[in-house]
């Protein structure tokens, strides 16, 4: 087995399982710091202006990795009519034009179970099937443990007496994971952090019943990356909102890895639900899922839905056009927020705060609707 | 001695302060240009209010709103710090209880608020760019050499408005230059611009949602008669411009403060700092925290050299240290670093007005 250093880009907290995967294959990783303003310093100069924000962050991560001794890049590309399909080739060409030389391993994330992926890993690092399978199992285990931790944090932030305590624990966890090596250490830290979060004291149960429930839908990268979405989960959580998200690495693996193992293939729930408003199966990226998840959240009785996407994201712009009809049919407000490289958070905060205020006042309005002779089940905007 | 309730709206373009008496009647208002210095504008505004209501007036509550509401809240000790949507709705409901739709065009953002039975049920704000807002009008007025106060009157003189692209400020500007060179008159161009702004507003914000009467138009741009006329024409209904249209945000935040103080049990005192403490020397600046990769820009607010408040730390640890009454080590640390860098980073005041 060759001994070389490997780097890979970030998407939210997916770096934790990816690190475990590569380390359990016997490789050493150069993990770029989680996305932050400095990630963009070099990449903004190089990336075309109208490229999407995720591309600029990914390029920044890879530049960091190569500048810090990595010889190989691992990138997860996917197939589907969105620009991300080309990022694989574009990133390679862009980095080589900048004068870097490196090996490039592309994993096809749309079809994780393909021989193609195994062959790519075998050619690059001389690993055998047994090693790959073992590492994959450990990785998936860590992936779901990390997901459970962050799910627990989302649940706790709005219920805890002191919501900021959750983020103090997560910050310590992030620091510790950065130093930890291998499956056992990472898994142990994740479990411990989850226990710590769970142990935080909560407010009265009575208050919990009054919590506003908001679903976050939209493009997978910005909904799952805390830097890209300006920490929306933390902000809403501290405003006392119970958040549900649908997109992320764990959901992806469940959809593209685990479900493919099932003997019967069923259509994804979000795709099924989107058919009420859209007669198409795919418009690229996660456009259909955005529509479907909005319908799902409306039916589940959420107070509101927040839709996030990076500026110029075509599939999400198309999905947005369905919102008028969804709002009219179900009476659940949907607010779209577009993110890009801005760090002036005032406008973003104002919109979130105003949205939450509005949801609270709508709740009060419908709570007294019967007295005015209005039927709450037929509510409309 | 009567009690007064203050409201401050620190926006990107204007800073407004109002005082209400205990009957919720407006008895003093100030409209100032923020001019990139929200701290100074805010203090000037509050001092001007003090002059009107008398030096011995007792303040019973204080509210802050606008993009600089955090800064205003810390500086003045606000009892309630609320976003502009909530504040504008509160103000509109008091002046026009049957309001169904609020149109608001401010310095750098525009909003539409839908209400039913006195409840906000939906709203929209402009997304990424500031085309079609007050700043844009300001700039075009300066370019055409028309005082912004007279902009609306010019528009009303027009007989044949020209067509101008309103979607993007850059497109609109090149359209205007072209129409000027073609020989169109100034009133026709100004009217065309008003038309474009209203068209753009209805398209981008209302997005086909039902605009119910009564329609109230507020914010600084409501002073522009050309825009008001254009809204009436394009919406096909009457548009009410309230008497204090220009300070509705501040008015709303004062009303919210009134409600908050009313709800407070046992007549708790306001957290307003008091007029005499405004004469202190204020200084805000930002410091980049290096403790983790987030690299937060933490703002510190000092009065006469003593630390009053800090914010902007995502993890909340520096704010927590200050809440315990200790001086966060971050600022001491950076003072030392900045000694070698020369002049300290005075970003605070600039950041507060960024939207």
B36-60 per-position pLDDT tens digit: 888 889 988 998 998 888 877 888 8
Q: Which residue has 């959809």 as its token pair?
A: A255
Q: Which residue has 């009217």 as its token pair?
A: B191
Is the CB of residue B315 less than 8 Å away from at least one CB of chain A? yes
Q: What is the pLDDT of residue B353?
A: 35
Q: What is the pLDDT of residue A376?
A: 66
SS3 A101: coil
**pLDDT-derived band at B217, boundaries 50, 70, 90:** very high
Q: Which residues of chain A have a CB within 8 Å of the CB of B127?
A: 336-338
Is the CB of residue B88 less than 8 Å away from at least one CB of chain A? no
Beta-ladder partners of B61: B5
Identify which of A365, A364, A315, A306 has the alpha carbon closest to the alpha carbon of residue A333.
Answer: A306
Residue B197 has pLDDT above 70, yes or no: yes
Q: Which residues of chain A have a CB within 8 Å of the CB of B315?
A: 164, 167-168, 171
Residue B118 has pLDDT above 90, yes or no: no
Tell me the average pLDDT of chain A.
Answer: 88
Mean pLDDT of B146-175: 84
Give the chain B residue nearest A374 (alpha carbons). B117
Answer whether A381 sits within 8 Å of B209, measured CB to CB: yes
pLDDT tens digit sequence for A97-145:
999 999 999 888 877 777 888 888 888 888 888 988 999 999 999 999 9
Cα separation of A161 and A149, whole Å?
19
**How distant is the Cα of A45 from the closest Cα of chain B, in angstroms?**
20
Cα separation of B108 and B126, whole Å?
9
Which tops the pLDDT comparison, A98 or B347? Answer: A98
Identify which of A221, A265, A220, A217 has the alpha carbon closest to the alpha carbon of residue A245.
Answer: A217
**pLDDT-derived band at A381, boundaries 50, 70, 90:** low
Answer whether B119 sits within 8 Å of A381, measured CB to CB: no
| Pairs of CB atoms within 8 A across A/B | 88
Share of residues in chain A with pLDDT > 70 (%): 96
pLDDT tens digit sequence for A7-32:
999 999 999 999 999 999 989 999 99
Mean pLDDT of A364-374: 79
Highest mean pLDDT among A105-114, B219-228, B301-310: B219-228
Which tops the pLDDT comparison, A98 or A258? Answer: A98
Partner-chain residue, chosen from B85, B122, B125, that has the shortest CB–CB distance to A333: B122
Which pTM was predicted? Answer: 0.87
Mean pLDDT of B129-143: 78
Give the chain B residue nearest A349 (alpha carbons). B83
Q: How many CB atoms lie within 10 A of CB A5?
A: 16
**pLDDT-derived band at A241, boundaries 50, 70, 90:** very high
ipTM for the predicted complex:
0.80
Q: What is the pLDDT of residue A3?
A: 61
Q: What is the pLDDT of residue B130?
A: 62
Residue B346 has pLDDT above 70, yes or no: no
Q: Please enumerate in sequence order all residues whose Cβ is within 8 A of that of A62, keeping only pairs 6 or more positions apart, or say none.
A: A7, A9, A32, A73, A75, A91, A95
Answer whether A36 sits within 8 Å of B295, measured CB to CB: yes
**pLDDT-derived band at B1, boundaries 50, 70, 90:** low
Q: Which residues of chain B have a CB within 8 Å of the CB of A227?
A: 294
Residue A72 has pLDDT above 50, yes or no: yes
Q: What is the pLDDT of residue A48?
A: 87
Is the CB of residue B208 less than 8 Å away from at least one CB of chain A? yes
Answer whether B315 sits within 8 Å of A171, measured CB to CB: yes
**How distant is the Cα of B112 from the closest Cα of chain A, in angstroms?**
12
Highest mean pLDDT among A82-91, B195-204, B214-223: B214-223
The reply to whether omega before A329 is within 30° of 0 (cis) is no
For chain B, report the end-to-end CA distance as a whole number of angstroms: 39
Which tops the pLDDT comparison, B243 or B209? Answer: B243
SS3 A59: helix
Give the chain A residue nearest B87 (alpha carbons). A354
Report the greatest alpha carbon distance in chain A: 75
Task: Look at A60-74, B258-272, B286-300, B322-336 and tell me which has the smallest mean pLDDT.
Answer: B322-336
Answer whether A364 sits within 8 Å of B316, measured CB to CB: no
Q: What is the pLDDT of residue A377?
A: 64
Cα separation of A350 and A360, whole Å?
15
Residue A209 has pLDDT above 80, yes or no: no
- Cβ contact A282:A263 at 8 Å: no
Answer whether B295 sits within 8 Å of A338, measured CB to CB: no
């Amino acid at each position: 087995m060759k001994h070389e250093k490997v780097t890979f880009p970030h998407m939210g907290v997916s770096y934790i399982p990816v690190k475990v995967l590569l380390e359990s294959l016997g490789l050493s990783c150069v993990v770029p710091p989680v996305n932050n303003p400095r990630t963009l310093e070099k990449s903004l100069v190089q990336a075309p202006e109208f490229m999407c924000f995720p591309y600029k962050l990914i390029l920044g991560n890879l530049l960091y990795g190569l500048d810090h001794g990595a010889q190989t890049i691992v990138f997860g590309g996917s197939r589907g009519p969105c620009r991300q399909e080309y990022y694989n080739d574009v990133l390679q060409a862009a980095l080589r034009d900048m004068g870097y030389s490196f090996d490039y391993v592309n994993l096809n994330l749309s079809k994780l179970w393909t021989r193609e992926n195994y062959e790519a890993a075998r050619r690059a690092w001389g690993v055998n099937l047994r090693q790959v399978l073992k590492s994959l199992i450990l990785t998936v285990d860590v992936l779901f443990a990390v997901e459970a931790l962050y799910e627990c944090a989302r649940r706790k932030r709005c219920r805890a007496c002191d919501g900021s305590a959750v983020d103090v624990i997560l910050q310590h966890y992030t620091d510790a994971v950065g130093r930890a090596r291998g499956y056992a250490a990472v898994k142990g830290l994740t479990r411990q952090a989850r226990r710590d979060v769970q142990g935080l004291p909560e407010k009265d149960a009575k208050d919990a019943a009054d919590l506003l429930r908001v679903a976050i839908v939209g493009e997978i990268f910005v909904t799952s990356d805390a830097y890209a979405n300006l920490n929306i989960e933390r902000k809403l959580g501290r405003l006392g909102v119970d958040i549900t998200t649908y997109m992320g690495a764990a959901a992806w693996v469940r959809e593209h890895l685990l479900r493919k193992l099932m003997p019967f293939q069923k259509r994804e729930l979000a795709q099924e639900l989107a058919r009420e408003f859209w007669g198409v199966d795919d418009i690229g990226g996660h456009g259909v899922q955005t529509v479907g998840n909005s319908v799902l959240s409306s039916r589940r009785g959420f107070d509101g839905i927040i839709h996030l996407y990076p500026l110029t994201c075509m599939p999400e712009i198309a999905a947005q056009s369905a919102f008028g009809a969804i709002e009219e049919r179900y009476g659940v407000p949907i607010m779209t927020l577009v993110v890009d490289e801005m760090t002036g958070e005032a406008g973003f905060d104002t919109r979130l705060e105003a949205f939450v205020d509005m949801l609270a006042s709508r709740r009060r309005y419908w709570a007294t609707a019967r007295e005015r002779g209005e039927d709450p089940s037929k509510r409309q905007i | 001695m009567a009690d007064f309730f203050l409201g401050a709206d620190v926006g990107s373009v204007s800073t407004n302060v109002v005082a209400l008496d205990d009957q919720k009647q407006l008895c003093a208002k100030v409209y100032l240009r923020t001019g990139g210095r929200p701290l100074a504008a805010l203090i000037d505004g509050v001092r001007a209010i003090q002059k009107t209501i008398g030096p011995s007036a007792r303040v019973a509550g204080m509210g802050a709103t606008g993009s600089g509401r955090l800064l205003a809240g810390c500086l003045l000790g606000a009892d309630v710090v609320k976003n502009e949507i909530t504040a504008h709705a509160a103000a509109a409901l008091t002046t026009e209880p049957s309001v169904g739709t609020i149109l608001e065009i401010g310095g750098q953002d525009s909003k539409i608020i839908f209400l039913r039975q006195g409840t906000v049920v939906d709203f929209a704000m402009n997304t990424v760019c500031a085309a079609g807002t007050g700043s844009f009008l300001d700039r075009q007025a300066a370019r055409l050499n028309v005082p912004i106060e007279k902009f609306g009157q010019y528009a009303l003189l027009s007989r044949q408005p020209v067509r101008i692209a309103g979607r993007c400020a850059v497109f609109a500007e090149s359209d205007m230059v072209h129409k000027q060179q073609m020989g169109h008159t100034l009133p026709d161009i100004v009217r065309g611009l008003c038309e474009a702004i209203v068209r753009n507003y209805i398209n981008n914000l209302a997005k086909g949602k039902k605009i119910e009467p009564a329609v109230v138009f507020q914010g600084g741009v409501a002073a522009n008669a050309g825009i008001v006329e254009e809204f009436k024409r394009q919406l096909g209904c009457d548009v009410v411009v309230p008497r204090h249209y220009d300070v509705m945000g501040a008015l709303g935040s004062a009303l919210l403060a009134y409600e908050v103080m009313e709800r407070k049990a046992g007549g708790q005192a306001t957290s307003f700092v008091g007029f005499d403490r405004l004469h202190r020397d204020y200084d805000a600046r930002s410091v980049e925290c290096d403790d983790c990769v987030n690299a937060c820009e933490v703002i510190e607010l000092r009065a006469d050299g003593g630390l009053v408040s800090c914010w902007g730390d995502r993890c909340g640890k520096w704010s927590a240290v200050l809440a315990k009454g200790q001086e966060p080590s971050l600022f001491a640390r950076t003072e030392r670093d900045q000694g070698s860098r020369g002049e300290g980073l005075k970003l605070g005041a600039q950041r507060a007005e960024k939207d």
